[in-house]
Amino acid sequence: MKNEKNEQPENALPEIKNDATVMLDAPVVRGTSEITEIVVRKPNSGALRGARLQALMDMDVDSMMLVLPRVTTPALTRAELMMLEPGDLLQLSLELVSFLLPKSAMSAFPQN
């Protein structure tokens, strides 16, 4: 059955994305340049080593600071992550957590 708004079947699973771009509210200063956007890549299992999945799902700050440097472009350092505005850390964390959810769980969320 098709939905009139987006012309996709109502039971269709969402499109799989492998990265997401986050626009920072407060740029990260690195040397003489400013980083205004960060790309968060879908982590593979190796990028998650040393982190507890439940802690990541809870958006535990220490767990995020362990994994985010492994999956961001440009790669943010732990020191840069510690200096982020809270809202920017939250945006990066939300994108990372969204990659951990199974496709079936993502179908409950609105898609852009």
Q: What's residue 101's pLDDT?
A: 84
CA nearest 64: which of 83, 48, 75?
48
Digit-by-digit pLDDT tens for the chain (112 residues) are: 455 555 555 555 556 689 999 999 999 999 999 999 999 999 999 999 999 999 999 999 999 999 999 999 999 999 999 999 999 999 999 999 999 988 776 665 555 5
The pLDDT score that the predictor gives to residue 103 is 74
Output the pLDDT for position 7.
Answer: 58
Residue 72 contacts residue 41 (beta carbons within 8 Å): yes
Question: Which is nearest to 101 in space by CA: 14, 9, 4?
Answer: 14
